[in-house]
Amino acid sequence: MNILDKIVADKHKEVELRKSIIPVQQLENSVLFNRQGNSLAEALLNSDTGIIAEHKRRSPSKAVINQKVSVQDVAIGYETAGVCGMSVLTDGKYFGGSLDDLILARASASMPLLRKEFIIDEYQLLEAKAYGADVILLIAAVLSRDEIKSLSEFAKKLSLDVLLEVHNLEELEKSIMPSLDMLGVNNRNLKTFEVSTDVSKELSKHIPDDFVKVSESGISSIEAIKDLQQYDYKGFLIGENFMKTENPGQSAIEFLKALQS
Ligand SMILES: O=C(O)c1ccccc1NCC(=O)[C@H](O)[C@H](O)COP(=O)(O)O
């Protein structure tokens, strides 16, 4: 079993437990459920920088990254930096995140928020809405085409943007459908943890123009972004590069200043 299989097996158990604790109706009745969302896809299309900055305490590939900062301070710093959106990891077991992180980020900032999660069930989309997300991630490596279709169509009914993540051509070809807003290429192989932005460059020509292109993981320099922009990428998801510093918000401020100069 690789790490992704383990995460998904645990996620199935976790989601069943969560469903038994918080019924759907309670999620639908929550204050944020009917909030008008902000589109990350639109923010990326209207930006010259396209940064999506992530809150990530730890990860299977890097163990501890930053357990000290508060998610509120990080959200305020990222918004001050002028990022297009913030990705909030909500998985507890492998990333040290939670839905509380999402709601605290929502309370601190108005930018689009991505619920970064291993989504396998519609219930998680209702949670995303109830805890203040604007965008959800679907990972092609763990979903069939039919699952991607039903989850993305349900997300659109909830007015959530959909970022579909792929790592190779096979995943991309099985996933293309109109209910997706953004196509993300993860430069990290989630089974081996190898990282290379060449993956984004190679797949870019296969992504139809109707989707906003996002390059994810292993991005830590202005040069890498300028290079990926040549391949028509509009969004750049950056986690560790900011989170490994003492003040991720300040790091994002400096990074965006350098990117714009
Ligand atoms: O980051 C990991 O180790 C990881 C392992 C298994 C599944 C997912 C994983 N990461 C999720 C992400 O895609 C990244 O957090 C995100 O793209 C940011 O990457 P980075 O800038 O390299 O922190």
Cβ 231 vs Cβ 62: under 8 Å: no
Burial degree of 229 (CB within 10 A; 0-12, 13-18, 19+): middle
Q: Could you give the ipTM of this predicted complex?
A: 0.98
Segment 136-184, tens digit of pLDDT: 999 999 999 999 999 999 999 999 999 999 999 999 999 999 999 999 9
112 in contact with ligand 1, CB cutoff 6 A: no
Instruction: Give me the amino acid identity at 123.
Output: Y
Q: What are phi and psi of 46, to 5 degrees?
A: -95, 15
Note the pTM of the prediction, 2 decimals: 0.97
Segment 1-55, tens digit of pLDDT: 889 999 999 999 999 999 999 999 999 999 999 999 999 999 999 999 999 999 9
pLDDT band of 62, cuts 50, 70, 90? confident
Domain boundaries, the chain: 3-260
Query: Which two structure tokens, joined as six digits, stand for 95?
Result: 């990333």
Q: Which of 1, 3, 5, 188 to mutate to test the pocket of ligand 1 (most atoms within 8 A of CB)?
A: 188
CA distances to 19, 159, 174, 220 from 120, in Å:
13, 18, 17, 30
Segment 179-226, tens digit of pLDDT: 999 999 999 998 888 999 999 999 999 999 999 999 999 999 999 999
Q: Which of 30, 39, 56, 87 is catalytic?
A: 56
The answer to whether residue 157 is catalytic is no
The answer to whether residue 174 is catalytic is no
At the top level of CATH, which class does the domain 3-260 belong to?
Answer: alpha beta
85 in contact with ligand 1, CB cutoff 6 A: no
The answer to whether residue 217 is catalytic is yes
244 in contact with ligand 1, CB cutoff 6 A: no
3-class secondary-structure state, position 142: helix
Distance CA 55, CA 63 (A): 14
Distance CA 200, CA 195 (A): 11
